[in-house]
Amino acid sequence: MKLRNTVYILALLAVVATPSHAISAKYRAQLERSGCTQITELQGCDIHQTKMQNTNTERQQISAFLRDSVLNQPTDAAYEALNGYGFTNPAPLKWVKGKYAINLTINQKDVVTHATVTP
């Protein structure tokens, strides 16, 4: 009986001591190729595309958001939309989220007339 317990304990220790890998090598390679992380994949980054394709897609999504929710809107509504989309406002008329910066142009009636996205 004592030998059996010792074998179980050794087997358990072997399993616990074996390194575990959270992601497979194939998945890791897909992340590297796509420029995605596990977090950004959950936010829409496509691991089946290249880094360039994902960057273009992300920029297209931001451009569509600006067109639909920011341009031709009063500044209060535009600022609320930008905040809701995850942008922060470090300087007047400048909004930043990750690697993207948006510079806004407003008219005399406090309506957003133009939005420039960089990079």
**pLDDT at position 45, please?**
79
Domain range for 102: 70-119
d(CA 64, CA 86): 15
- Is 50 inside any structural domain? no
Residue 97 makes CB contacts below 8 A (sequence gap 6+) with 85, 86, 87, 88
- Is 94 inside any structural domain? yes
Q: Where are the alpha helices (DSSP H) in 44-91?
A: 51-69, 75-84
Residue 70 makes CB contacts below 8 A (sequence gap 6+) with 78, 81, 82, 104, 112, 115
3-state helix, strand, coil in the chain (%, to 5): 50, 20, 30
Strands 100-106 and 112-118: antiparallel
- Is 92 inside any structural domain? yes
- Is 24 inside any structural domain? no
- Is 90 inside any structural domain? yes
Q: Block means of pLDDT (10 residues each) for the chain, length 119 residues?
A: 67 58 85 86 80 83 93 96 96 93 95 92
Total domains in the fold of the chain: 1
**pLDDT at position 10, please?**
62
Give me the amino acid identity at 89: N
